[in-house]
Amino acid sequence: MTKNTKVKAAILIIGNEILSGRTQDTNTSSIALWLNSIGVKVNEVRVIPDIENTIVDTVNLLRKVNDYVFTTGGIGPTHDDITAQSISKAFNLEYEIHKEAFKILESYYKLGEFNEGRQKMVWMPRNANLILNPTSGAPGFNIENVFCLPGVPSILKSMLGGLKNKIAGGDPILSYTISLKTVESEIAKSLTNVQDKNKDVEIGSYPFFQAGKLGVSIVIRSEEQGKIDNCVSQIMNFVNNKNIEIVNR
Amino acid sequence: MTKNTKVKAAILIIGNEILSGRTQDTNTSSIALWLNSIGVKVNEVRVIPDIENTIVDTVNLLRKVNDYVFTTGGIGPTHDDITAQSISKAFNLEYEIHKEAFKILESYYKLGEFNEGRQKMVWMPRNANLILNPTSGAPGFNIENVFCLPGVPSILKSMLGGLKNKIAGGDPILSYTISLKTVESEIAKSLTNVQDKNKDVEIGSYPFFQAGKLGVSIVIRSEEQGKIDNCVSQIMNFVNNKNIEIVNR
């Protein structure tokens, strides 16, 4: 029985450092894997620069066509951290000191260390809901369906757990992987047949070259275990018929 | 003397495996670093699923507002590889066997190995220009300003070099990094002053926690070395005044 398989999200990575190639984004994968586990499917990811108008327009577009939007980056203390002020503008809300966030950071830092730079991090859209940060104090926040998280991967990861109760997902998206010692062209036709017979299951084929091994991973994704099982048995049929070696399943 | 600092590109990552979090995209960084070196700035990255309409619409949108669009993924032999047919649709071109690509793969594979699955990889939009693949034979292609590359990172990287003559970039985007043993809040105000005095230079501030060290990297980016040098000396002024230890520069 599926509850709701249509819960969809967009991830918005804010930061020149990703666009320049200097920094490798890893937050997409962390957020997507976590969302899958609570039944939310990522529909789209965008990476945009630290430019206010671009952030405002993109957030306003994405929040209307997705159940949830997760932003990463731009909530630190420096001049290039403009996410909170941009979200305020997007929602037409005052950008102001958030009293609860102020208290949290005031007690987090030692006396005299809660300086002007750090105080920037408590400026948020009016009535923002805080997302607690067990790693480094400074909270993220959400306004309606837009959740703003930091860009530093370890801090972001530590904050996802606290979000769980704020997200109404559907059934978890299950997946099963079969890794074969073969090449894609060898199984392409048979795999197309399986996909054609199971149109509502997502079947992906991904070549790998790892640890000196060359092969193909077939990934089957659905909210329903039964549908995955059906595909797996159909795939195993042609795998056995073709005498293909199974690396892992 | 700048030639043209306005050459901009979008990267379009096509693939359910990135959206599900299963695979970590690394192609954005490879393409962006290479584009920077030939004077093209990445303006936007999008990750979208293997859905034809989504690919068609996104390509048609991005190619109109960017000088170049680079797609990755979806040009292999399996059912979920639908980039070439989608690009054909986006440009309203026939999707057909590309004779030159056919010859390349016919001679690449041993007799009898150029099977139906592999032959799918020579189906392209009519009159596509090939992008040669020194790693695994199957070429990418471009139509006008849209360049279609494979998803496998090592293959993609090996194909970038051959693209250089097809891209008309501006001056290379230069960057300089100063890594400091400090925290962002300590330098936020001084750095804002430098940014305010150098509005056409991109100054980013990125905390790092690496190898037991905690610090901040300041990245200064511009097409003009002189402008970078000015910022560096202004930054070094406050770094010295504050007695901040330099980790690297």
* B30/A21 CB distance under 8 A: yes
How far is A184 from A217, CA to CA, in rounded Å? 9
Report the Cα–Cα distance between both ends of chain B, in Å, rounded.
26
Q: Which of A117, A192, A204 sits opposite B16 (nearest CB)?
A: A204
Mean pLDDT estimate for chain A: 94
Pairing of strands B95-97, B41-48: unpaired
Three-state SS for A27-77 is HHHHHHHHHHHCCCEEEEEEEECCCHHHHHHHHHHHHHHCCEEEEECCCCC
Contact, B174 vs B167, CB < 8 A? no
Tell me the chain A residues in contact with residue B8 when contact means C-beta distances shorter than 8 Å. Answer: none
Confidence category of residue A2, pLDDT binned at 50, 70, 90: very low
Nearest Cα of chain B lies from the Cα of A59 at a distance, in angstroms, of 14
Q: Which of A19, A154, A203 sits opposite B42 (nearest CB)?
A: A19
Residues of chain B with pLDDT under 50: 1-4
How far is B128 from B144, CA to CA, in rounded Å? 9
Nearest Cα of chain B lies from the Cα of A248 at a distance, in angstroms, of 16
* A42/B20 CB distance under 8 A: yes
Nearest Cα of chain B lies from the Cα of A93 at a distance, in angstroms, of 24
Report the Cα–Cα distance between both ends of chain A, in Å, rounded.
26
Number of neighbours of residue A87 by Cβ within 10 angstroms: 27
Side-chain half-sphere CA neighbours of A214 within 13 A: 5
Number of neighbours of residue A239 by Cβ within 10 angstroms: 20
Tokens of B131: 């992008």
* More confident of the two residues A244 and A249: A244
pLDDT recorded at residue A249: 86
Residue ranges covered by each domain of chain A = 8-166, 174-248
Side-chain half-sphere CA neighbours of B138 within 13 A: 24
**Predicted interface score ipTM higher than 0.95:** no
Q: What is the mean pLDDT of residues A53-81?
A: 97
Could you tell me which of B147, B140, B149 has the C-alpha nearest to residue B121? B140
In 3-state terms, what secondary structure has residue A98? coil
R_g of chain A computed on alpha carbons: 22
> What is B55-103 written as a DSSP string?
HHHHHHHHHHHSSEEEEES--SSSTT--HHHHHHHHTT--EEE-HHHHH
Could you tell me which of A248, A229, A225 has the C-alpha nearest to residue A237? A229
Tokens of B184: 């962002």
* A43/B26 CB distance under 8 A: no
Largest CA distance in chain A: 72
Nearest Cα of chain B lies from the Cα of A121 at a distance, in angstroms, of 10
- By CA distance, what is A78's nearest residue in B? B188
Least confident of A13-17, A147-151, A164-168, B238-242: A164-168
pLDDT recorded at residue B2: 42
pLDDT recorded at residue B213: 79
* A187/B117 CB distance under 8 A: yes
Nearest Cα of chain A lies from the Cα of B36 at a distance, in angstroms, of 7
Nearest Cα of chain A lies from the Cα of B213 at a distance, in angstroms, of 15
Tell me, what amino acid is at A94?
A: E
Tell me the chain B residues in contact with residue A187 when contact means C-beta distances shorter than 8 Å. Answer: 78, 117
Side-chain half-sphere CA neighbours of B148 within 13 A: 30
Tell me the chain A residues in contact with residue B9 when contact means C-beta distances shorter than 8 Å. Answer: none
Q: Give the neighbor-by-neighbor strand order of the sheet with A174-181.
A: A202-210, A213-222, A174-181, A245-248
pLDDT recorded at residue A3: 47
How far is B139 from B103, CA to CA, in rounded Å? 11
Is 50 exceeded by the pLDDT of residue A1?
A: no
Q: Which of A17, A49, A117 sits opposite B206 (nearest CB)?
A: A17
* A20/B43 CB distance under 8 A: no
Q: Any idea what DSSP says for residue B134?
A: T
Nearest Cα of chain B lies from the Cα of A185 at a distance, in angstroms, of 4
pLDDT recorded at residue B122: 97
How many beta-carbon contacts under 8 Å exist across A and B? Answer: 194
In 3-state terms, what secondary structure has residue B224? coil
Largest CA distance in chain B: 72
In 3-state terms, what secondary structure has residue A179? strand
- By CA distance, what is A204's nearest residue in B? B80
* A16/B221 CB distance under 8 A: yes
Mutation target vs B (from A80, A82, A228; most B CBs, 10 A cutoff):
A80
Does the predicted TM-score (pTM) go above 0.90?
yes
Contact, A237 vs A168, CB < 8 A? no
> Looking at domain A8-166, which of 3.40.120.10, 3.30.470.20, 3.30.70.20, 3.40.980.10 is its CATH number?
3.40.980.10
In 3-state terms, what secondary structure has residue B43? strand
* A205/B29 CB distance under 8 A: no
List, for residues B116-141, the tens digit of each pLDDT value: 889 999 999 999 999 999 998 999 99
Is 60 exceeded by the pLDDT of residue A5?
A: no
Tell me the chain B residues in contact with residue A32 when contact means C-beta distances shorter than 8 Å. Answer: 19-21
Contact, A149 vs A117, CB < 8 A? no
Q: Which fold has domain B174-248?
A: Alpha-Beta Plaits (3.30.70)
Q: Which of A154, A191, A219 sits opposite B17 (nearest CB)?
A: A219
> What is B178-223 written as a DSSP string?
EEEES-HHHHHHHHHHHHHH-TTSEEEEEEEEETTEEEEEEEEEES
How many residues are listed for chain B in this entry? 249
* A205/B36 CB distance under 8 A: no
How far is B37 from A246, CA to CA, in rounded Å? 43
Could you tell me which of B143, B149, B174 has the C-alpha nearest to residue B162? B149
Tell me the chain A residues in contact with residue B46 when contact means C-beta distances shorter than 8 Å. Answer: 44-47
In 3-state terms, what secondary structure has residue A207? strand
Nearest Cα of chain A lies from the Cα of B18 at a distance, in angstroms, of 7
pLDDT recorded at residue B63: 98
Tell me the chain B residues in contact with residue A173 when contact means C-beta distances shorter than 8 Å. Answer: 20
Tell me the chain A residues in contact with residue B205 when contact means C-beta distances shorter than 8 Å. Answer: 76, 78-80
Side-chain half-sphere CA neighbours of B102 within 13 A: 7
Q: Could you tell me what percent of chain A has a pLDDT over 90?
A: 88
Tell me the chain A residues in contact with residue B33 when contact means C-beta distances shorter than 8 Å. Answer: 20-22
How far is B182 from A56, CA to CA, in rounded Å? 31
